[in-house]
Structures are given as C-alpha cells and as structure tokens.
A and B are shown apart, each in its own frame.
Chain A
Amino acid sequence: MTTASAQAGWRFRKPSVIPGFGLTLGFSLVYLTLIILIPLSGLAWRSASLGWIDFWAIATDRRTVNALKISFGTALAAALINVVFGTIVAWVLVRYPFPGRRIVDAMVDLPFALPTAVAGIALTSLYAPKGWVGSLLAPLGMKIAYTPAGIVVALVFIGLPFVVRTVQPIIEEIDKEVEEAAATLGATRWQTITRVLFPGLAPAIVTGFALAFARGVGEYGSVIFIAGNLPNVSEIAPLLIVIRLEEFNYPAATAIAAIMLVISFAMLLVINLLQAWSRKRYG
C-alpha cells in the first residue's frame, strides 16, 4: 500500500479543478532558477575551474577543515540546545496563560528582526570577561566570549525563533482529547508527554532543528564579534571565506563555499527524508 502511494506521488500531476498549475509551476521554476540555481551553479563553476588537485589541497588545508568543523559543530550544538529550550518556550507560550504572555511571544521574534551585528556586539559585551555575565562566570574558570562556546551562545540566540515558531502551531493543534484519553487509560503526566505528545511533535521539532541548524551554519554577523576569530580555534567557515575574498583568492573562497554547500545540502536532504518518512507513517 505504501509503495503504491509512493508511485502515485511520482506521477506527473494532471491539471485538476484548481486552475493555474502550468502558470504557477512555470513561475516557480523560473523564480527558483534566477534566485537559487544560477548563483549556485556559478559557485560550482568557479570552484570547478580550480581543478581537482588544487580543490583537494584547499579542502584538506588544516585551517579550512578546522573552520568547517567549528561551523558545523557549533551550529549542531546550538540547534540541539534550541530544540530543547525552544520546545519548552513554545509549550509555555501555548499552554499557560500568564501576564505578559503576548510580550514574551513578541520577544521571541526579536532575533529575526535585530541586525545580527547588533546581537553579536550585545552578546559580546555581556559575555566578555568584564561583562555582566562573563564577570560572573570568570571566577568559575569559564570563558564564553572569544571561544567556540561564545559562537554557540550567539547561534542559540539567532536560532531560537526558528524552533519556537515551527513547534508552536503544532502544539496549538494538539487535541486536548488525546491527553484526556491517555489520562483515562492510566498514563501519568510524564508518560503522556513522552509517549503521546512528543511523538506527535517530533516532525515539527525536526523541522525547527533543521532551520536553526541551517541558519547557524550560515550565520556570520553575530558570530564574528563574539568568536574572537582565532584561526583553528574559533574561526568559522563563512569568516574564512571572507578572509580569502579579501586576499583576492577567489578560487579558495568558492571552494570552501562549495564544500559548505554540499555538506549543508546533504544534511538538509537527510532531514527532509526523515520527515517525509514520518509523515507517511503518521498521516
């Protein structure tokens, strides 16, 4: 049965009662080509002009590898943190009426709107060894600003709304009856959350994770202020690209960009497949 529906999904869509299929599909293709495909193929073209040996030399350069590790590692850590706390924030915002809820709800969007450089400077001044938070952590031997931990802090800040805004509508949709059913069947609150509610939220949480992660990998503005940008320690890949550009080393810049692109695309593809699988399963 599932294979049959999968096959049907691949069949070319016939024009239906809803008109405009040809027009909108044509528009979408042209638009995607202009906005995404042409710039990306330009990128591929430029890095391809390098030749394999040079490309490989750049790709395996210690500084490049470390920058990529830092970029993807911190983005992953930040996205994981955001998934946990973003889901809790979304839950609180939906489920509990409390004074000032509207204001908190609006505040969640601030990282969307704030120029990232402003966020970066603000966070740096907070977490620097002499800042409000940093001065509290310094006696404990914890250094946040100018380390990879600082990058994670900045990415958590940037990524939070992605998780909250994707999970929130799904929590709003949860049927209260399902929780009541679990309770009448003898489930404790914890069992209801882990066995009934969480699996229903999982696809949205995965989406939020993917968005926060993708945003984190590409983030530049807020990170460069707090990271300290020490090569091999706290230098992110986007910054390395900019450095290469400033050196007029365009092939190296495009090569690093192409590697980032491939890794990001592969990860997002996996996440999308995961979601398609869970959607098919749970309807």
Chain B
Amino acid sequence: MQVRVENVRKEFDTFPALHDVSLDIRSGELIALLGPSGSGKTTLLRLIAGLEQPTIGKIFFGDDDASERSIRERNVGFVFQHYALFRHMTVADNIGFGLKVRPSATRPPAEEIRRRASTLLDLVQLSGLEKRYPAQLSGGQRQRVALARAMAIEPKVLLLDEPFGALDAQVRRELRRWLREIHDATGHTTVFVTHDQEEALELADRVVVMSQGRIEQVGTADEVYDQPNSPFVYGFIGDSSSLPVKVEDGQVWLTDRPIGLAAPDAPAGPATLFFRPHDVELLDECAGCLAGTVASSRRVAGTKRVELEIGGHRERVEIELPVDHPAAQKSRIAFRPRKWKVFPSAAE
C-alpha cells in the first residue's frame, strides 16, 4: 500500500510539531524516519496511524483519503517502543486480539485465529511460547510478540515507533537483521522511527532525515551519507568536522588564505565547510591546504583520532589518522579533505 503525506502541519496547542511535511512512501518499501528527539518523527508516524489528527493537510493510503477514516478503519499495524502488550493475556491471545475483536461477520473462527497466531509465532521465531504471559518474556521477545500482534490483522501499513529503543545493543542488532528478513518475506509497507542513524542506514530502503518539524532530506543510505543536502544532515549523519570559512572568487578561504578547495558554484560570503574526518588526504607541505597543531589525540577502534587547532582563531576540527602515524602533541599536521561541502552561513 502506497502512502502519501500531503502538506501536513500538526500543532499541539499552539506549538507546531510539524511544518508543512510532504512524503511519498512507496508500496512495499521499508522506510526510516530519522532525527533527534523533538524533530517530529514520532508525530509523523502517529499521524499516519491515525493516533493524531493533522491540523492541516491530508494523508492518503493509495487513493483513499485516510484523514477521513478513524484509527480502527485504517487497518495499520502499530508497534510501540514499550511493546504495549496486554499483560493479562497470553502471547497467543495477544496476537489473536485484533482478529477476535472483529465484528462476527468478518471474524475468523477460533480455530483459525489460533492457527494464525501459531504461524505468526513461527515467523517471529517464538514457537512454543503461546501460553506464556508477557511478564514471562524478555524485552526482545516481547517486541517480537508486539510485531506479530500488529501483523496478525494483515495491516496495509506497518508502523514501528522506535521498536528497538528499549533493548540492549546486542539484541537490537539481532532484531534489526531479523526485521529486515521479515520485511523481505512479507513485503509490508513499513515505516519505522528511530534516532539511531546506524539502524536507519543499515535497515531502511530510504531514510527520511527530520529536524525541528521539517523533512531535511529523503534518500537512500548512500545518498544521505555521501550527498547531504544541508548542514544539519551533514552533521547528523555520520561523523563530520566543520570549520567556518568564506567563499571568494570560487575558492574556499580560511580567514586570509585559500585552502586549495575550488567551489565555483558556491555563493560568495561567509560559509561553513563540512568534511568527514576519515576522508582526508595528509600532505607533507602546505601550499593551499589546512594545517593545524595537534591539541589532543585518542584511539578509536582501528584508527587514531586527533583534534587540530587551525588558524588564528584556533578553530578545532577532528581528523582520523592511521594508528602508526607519528603525530604527537603540538606537532603540526597538514591535510586536505577529499570529499567536502560548503554551505553558506545564512543557511544554518
């Protein structure tokens, strides 16, 4: 089921949580809403589910205007961060709940409901736990039950609100891979909210980066990582270093000298230079490059990360060096970013 969000604005009292958001979700797609807290990602998800009503704007499921429909009629599967399982029901009853509450005309017979619950438990790899109560399950198992429960109603769209947020790192990684497999097997159009970029980049077909109630960029993991289209996305996705610069004559200048980066399309004036700390080229001598003295150095996994003080204002930037690089405190290092981008300062 294709989902279209059209110019949606949502205000809580008078506080705007979403400003004029539009988004097309393709049928069968696994899409991530990624952003820091307060970016409006959960609000957007709840609007799609019908748990909130938009102040302005419409949401379409296919050609059907879902804004007109109540949450019950929308037929969405929603998975909550804290599972929201029914404590007094067994696992099987939890999963079968959505079928049992159907009007008798469309309700499958009890035997069929039981069988469906059991099939879904196989799918989420919890076979044999039908008779357990949620209190007897681990966090990861509970979230799987919650997902099975959401899928039992054969939803048009599957919506997951920080589904792995309350789980520890190892279980998260495992469930992430497993969710991808389930998605590939069932083909539900799936939207999930996360603040974990690793999760979003690894899992989703497309990532929607959100900030302060707006969509900053929509794209594949490669697109948002390699071609960030705003300072926010550059800073939010992956590691980045930034430096205040200015653009003049199609060149990037650090205070009074060019640093050997040509930016013919950038508008002249003050700007911010972004680059990835690991994507730099070390230079021996410096005629038109960035150079600074080492302020601090730390070991991060397979590399060494140093903080350099650059220029008269002693701006600090981080770059990555090979572990065996002889850089010591106060030593001088010259480099030039391989991939970089300047954004005019006004844009920030």
Interface residues of A (CB under 8 A from B): 1, 175, 177-178, 180-188, 191, 195-196, 199-200, 281-283
Q: List 23 A-B contacts (CB under 8 A).
A: A177-B84, A178-B84, A180-B78, A181-B146, A182-B101, A184-B49, A184-B76, A184-B77, A184-B78, A184-B150, A185-B97, A186-B72, A186-B101, A187-B72, A187-B101, A199-B89, A281-B88, A282-B88, A282-B133, A282-B135, A283-B133, A283-B134, A283-B135
Expressed in whole angstroms, the minimum distance between the Cβ of B137 and any Cβ of chain A is 10
Query: In whole angstroms, how far apart are the Cα atoms of A282 and B72 in the complex?
Result: 27
Hey, which chain B residues are within 8 Å of A282, CB to CB?
87-88, 133, 135
Expressed in whole angstroms, the minimum distance between the Cβ of B84 and any Cβ of chain A is 4
Q: Are A183 and B86 closer than 8 Å at their CB atoms?
A: no
Q: Are B101 and A191 closer than 8 Å at their CB atoms?
A: yes
Q: Are A281 and B98 closer than 8 Å at their CB atoms?
A: no
Among all A-B residue pairs, the 9 with the closest Cβ atoms: A283-B135, A185-B98, A177-B84, A181-B84, A184-B78, A199-B88, A187-B101, A282-B88, A177-B80
Expressed in whole angstroms, the minimum distance between the Cβ of B235 and any Cβ of chain A is 32
Expressed in whole angstroms, the minimum distance between the Cβ of B131 and any Cβ of chain A is 11
Q: With A191-B101, A282-B135 in contact, is A184–B51 under 8 Å at CB?
A: yes
Query: In whole angstroms, how far apart are the Cα atoms of A184 and B76 in the complex?
Result: 6
Q: Are A182 and B51 closer than 8 Å at their CB atoms?
A: no
Hey, which chain A residues are within 8 Å of B134, CB to CB?
283
Q: With A177-B82, A282-B135 in contact, is A186–B98 under 8 Å at CB?
A: yes
Q: Which residue of A lies closest to B152 (CB)?
A: A185
Hey, which chain A residues are within 8 Å of B89, CB to CB?
199
Q: Which residue of B lies closest to A283 (CB)?
A: B135
Q: With A175-B82, A180-B84 in contact, is A185–B101 under 8 Å at CB?
A: yes
Query: In whole angstroms, how far apart are the Cα atoms of A218 and B76 in the complex?
Result: 53
Query: In whole angstroms, how far apart are the Cα atoms of A180 and B75 in the complex?
Result: 13
Query: In whole angstroms, how far apart are the Cα atoms of A192 and B342 in the complex?
Result: 54
Q: Which residue of A lies closest to B106 (CB)?
A: A186
Hey, which chain B residues are within 8 Å of A186, CB to CB?
72, 75, 98, 101-102, 153
B58 contacts the other chain (CB 8 A): no
Expressed in whole angstroms, the minimum distance between the Cβ of A109 and any Cβ of chain B is 30
B149 contacts the other chain (CB 8 A): yes
B345 contacts the other chain (CB 8 A): no
Query: In whole angstroms, how far apart are the Cα atoms of A181 and B51 in the complex?
Result: 10
Hey, which chain B residues are within 8 Å of A184, CB to CB?
49-51, 71, 74, 76-78, 150
Q: Which residue of A lies closest to B132 (CB)?
A: A1
B136 contacts the other chain (CB 8 A): yes
Q: Are A283 and B87 closer than 8 Å at their CB atoms?
A: yes
CB-CB contacts of B147-188 with A at 8 A, as 1s and 0s?
001100100000000000000000000000000000000000
Hey, which chain A residues are within 8 Å of B50, CB to CB?
184
User: 14 extra interchain contacts, Cβ-Cβ under 8 A, other than A182-B97, A191-B101, A282-B87?
Assistant: A175-B84, A177-B80, A177-B82, A180-B84, A181-B84, A185-B97, A186-B75, A186-B101, A186-B102, A188-B101, A199-B88, A199-B89, A283-B87, A283-B136
Q: Are A181 and B78 closer than 8 Å at their CB atoms?
A: yes
Query: In whole angstroms, how far apart are the Cα atoms of A191 and B135 in the complex?
Result: 23
CB-CB contacts of B77-99 with A at 8 A, as 1s and 0s?
11010101111110000000110
Query: In whole angstroms, how far apart are the Cα atoms of A1 and B129 in the complex?
Result: 13
